[in-house]
Structure 1
């Protein structure tokens, strides 16, 4: 176990002690960026915050406790004892759980302090993890027997036979989901970022009395219009790609996974785009080689740059430089934090119409929505905004106003503080 300095509460009267639990404490995706932002926000509001994590690092004024047991897929008796001791030593008044953990982990947390859980993805109620069928179409079935039936017929994107079909693994996986879902029903509250996710958890059997919708916020701050991004602050290869010509920049921040993030559809759409434009895909993941090979095969190498994961300040620079932000996810996105980051910089967004995206993107007002998996429609939407910079700027300005009115940091933290304290 290792620690960092703890945040200093701004109120003197016995501040609420909050233990934020997240399996990863780094900046590799939207969920992780939210974890860092919400910890800073809770500290700023005077709560005494500690973070319990399985690993990773990001700058924080909160005390960070590293627990190898939290990163384990399950717990033996020794591991359970070590985790229980670590959590008890933190003496939390309430636990704020941000990641999926096993039923063993969850049982320990529930036994020590009231627990508020923020469900940020589908892993709690989908053994395939992303609610996608094998053909990448969206799944609308609730967790249960239908999952086994599909496993042994068409399969799902992340839940299908590997090698010799056997009942043992799918039954074990489904049982783990059901146990964790049942235990989650004992939480003080279950938070989700969108009405879409609330509906999914209701269909999974959770009580409506325990569910609350808490939309994300972003700490992303737009650069003044008279400023320009500093290319020198970016990695050398990325800066060189941007400086090579003055073609409009398209930006997609994403974890490089398939099929959920839809990046293969994005490359197809770019290949159909008969406009001067270049694309930066900011992120990394197991599909990177496949996507780079696809870009080369389709003659897009000079128009596409894979930057890898970027530091927050580097991503801010790209958001400032971009003409459009693209959000090509084809799975039912629980929310889509990238959309808020784009709106903070007054950038219009082109996205597929999936999951909770409509809850922040107003079609025709703050961006354009396309039918899921329709690369041709996505290409036409990009062309429409590139051909009309005034419309793109107007949409970006409306998006920024929409963000300030409906997704403020202050509202999020006020509601969260109330629910954690109540």
Structure 2
């Protein structure tokens, strides 16, 4: 049986959606979103297709059992662009003949130019998931501790700041020149050629409009549906307090700050700190392990465990068993989905006050926000929650209620239908 929101989208004539993204697969925020939306729309008879290049995670091996069909476009994931990709994309679009082209992570503005045919009958929506269109280094992060998040519009000043070592790079070994800036500005300006732009947070909307004011009226914030999970695990009151951190193990995610916070923590009881994630930077991880050794050497009451890379189900269990999940990011987090998933699983959250994290973590209501890049402040917030079980429970319960009421598939479909309607 179709829901009202599904019927609304069906009534708008959207029977076929074509997603365009650098990658396919089932691992990664964008990839997870594409599959989730396809699953939501499948009951109404709306078919979903994906143009992709690389694969992150697994791809369905039996097409008829998949919620989405796939077409491989070589070069689509090339961050430096590929002159042949726009025509390849346009040929695939013409063959599939969708009602809606839903663009995600692409790196070449010529793709949008090719799609924006004067006789097209399909709508073009572009979901901006990250900072690639507005930031050469992709992180919007400065090394200046007093001002972590960068609001600088894309310009020559960005090249100057990178050369001076002021910017944190998503890919540490990559260098940038005038040609890179020109290509990125071209990609940014191509946003003007789509019918609507959707973003994950008010923070992302602010960044985009600061870079391209003309797109203000067609830029929308969509409530991102949070991946469903199992019921909250009932923990014994006698259990050892557990703190968790999960994410890409790289500097901007702030794992070192969480470990340092354990040094400051003046709590005379055993605490277990669990780490989960993929090691993206071996040198950084080595530094984190040195910190781990220092913490455990100075305080035998601290137990730090590395669990490796976990599946979604295993991450849900990690959050469900945790009393506190820390999100000490030191970059312009577009949304901070880790915080939402932790709240969804019933954990209390302490996070940095950066980017779009306040979409979920509302200070004093659903969690605690602290000054970014401040291990002492992070430690104080952790200590407060460890000491006050009632506060911890109240924040966790309110956070879970927020996610369950405002960030569901139904709410996302409703908002998406409104965007489509406004494009008609």
Instruction: Report deviation, 1:116.
Output: 0.5
- Given that 1:15 and 1:46 are in contact with CA atoms closer than 8 Å, whether structure 2 keeps it comes out as no
Which residue pairs with 1:210 in the alignment?
218
Call closer, same or farther: CA 1:17–1:375 in 2, change over 3 Å. Answer: same
Which residue of 258, 263, 271 maps to 1:271? Answer: 263
> Aligned runs of 1:266-305 on 2, under 5 Å?
266-275=258-267, 276-288=270-282, 290-299=284-293, 300=295, 303-305=303-305
Which residue pairs with 2:54 in the alignment?
55
Instruction: Report deviation, 1:397.
Output: 0.8
- Given that 1:349 and 1:368 are in contact with CA atoms closer than 8 Å, whether structure 2 keeps it comes out as yes
Aligned to 1:65, what secondary structure does the other structure show?
strand
Which residue pairs with 1:116 in the alignment?
125
Deviation by residue 1:378-422 (Cα, 9 ceiling, x = unmatched): 011111111222221111111112223322221111221342464
The gaps in structure 1 that reach 5 residues or longer are 1-9, 229-244
The gaps in structure 2 that reach 5 residues or longer are 1-8, 61-65, 297-301
Instruction: Report deviation, 1:15.
Output: 5.0
Call closer, same or farther: CA 1:377–1:74 in 2, change over 3 Å. Answer: closer
Call closer, same or farther: CA 1:336–1:58 in 2, change over 3 Å. Answer: farther
Q: 2 CA distance for matches of 1:182 and 1:36? A: 28
Q: 2:388 aligned with 1:381, yes or no?
A: no
> Aligned runs of 1:14-413 on 2, under 5 Å?
16-56=15-55, 57-58=58-59, 60-74=66-80, 76=82, 78-111=84-117, 113-135=122-144, 137-158=148-169, 169-206=176-213, 207-223=215-231, 246-258=239-251, 260-275=252-267, 276-288=270-282, 290-299=284-293, 300=295, 303-413=303-413
- Given that 1:220 and 1:316 are in contact with CA atoms closer than 8 Å, whether structure 2 keeps it comes out as no
Deviation by residue 1:78-119 (Cα, 9 ceiling, x = unmatched): 554433322322222211112132223333333464310111
Q: 2 CA distance for matches of 1:253 and 1:32? A: 18
Aligned to 1:329, what secondary structure does the other structure show?
coil
Aligned to 1:281, what secondary structure does the other structure show?
strand
* TM-score normalised per structure 1: 0.84
Instruction: Report deviation, 1:310.
Output: 1.8
Which residue pairs with 2:3 in the alignment?
none
Q: 1 CA distance for matches of 2:347 and 2:171? A: 39
Call closer, same or farther: CA 1:284–1:171 in 2, change over 3 Å. Answer: same
Deviates more, 1:320-329 or 1:46-55: 46-55
- How many residues in Structure 1 have an aligned counterpart in Structure 2? 392
Aligned to 1:68, what secondary structure does the other structure show?
coil
Deviation by residue 1:214-249 (Cα, 9 ceiling, x = unmatched): 121212234155599xxxxxxxxxxxxxxxx95322
- Given that 1:152 and 1:161 are in contact with CA atoms closer than 8 Å, whether structure 2 keeps it comes out as no
Call closer, same or farther: CA 1:40–1:309 in 2, change over 3 Å. Answer: farther
Q: 2 CA distance for matches of 1:216 and 1:339? A: 13
- The CA RMSD measured in Å over matched residues stands at 2.9
Q: 2 CA distance for matches of 1:161 and 1:49? A: 36
* TM-score normalised per structure 2: 0.83
Q: 2 CA distance for matches of 1:310 and 1:161? A: 25
Deviation by residue 1:155-212 (Cα, 9 ceiling, x = unmatched): 422299979x9xxx42111111110011111111011111111111111014211111
Which residue pairs with 2:6 in the alignment?
none
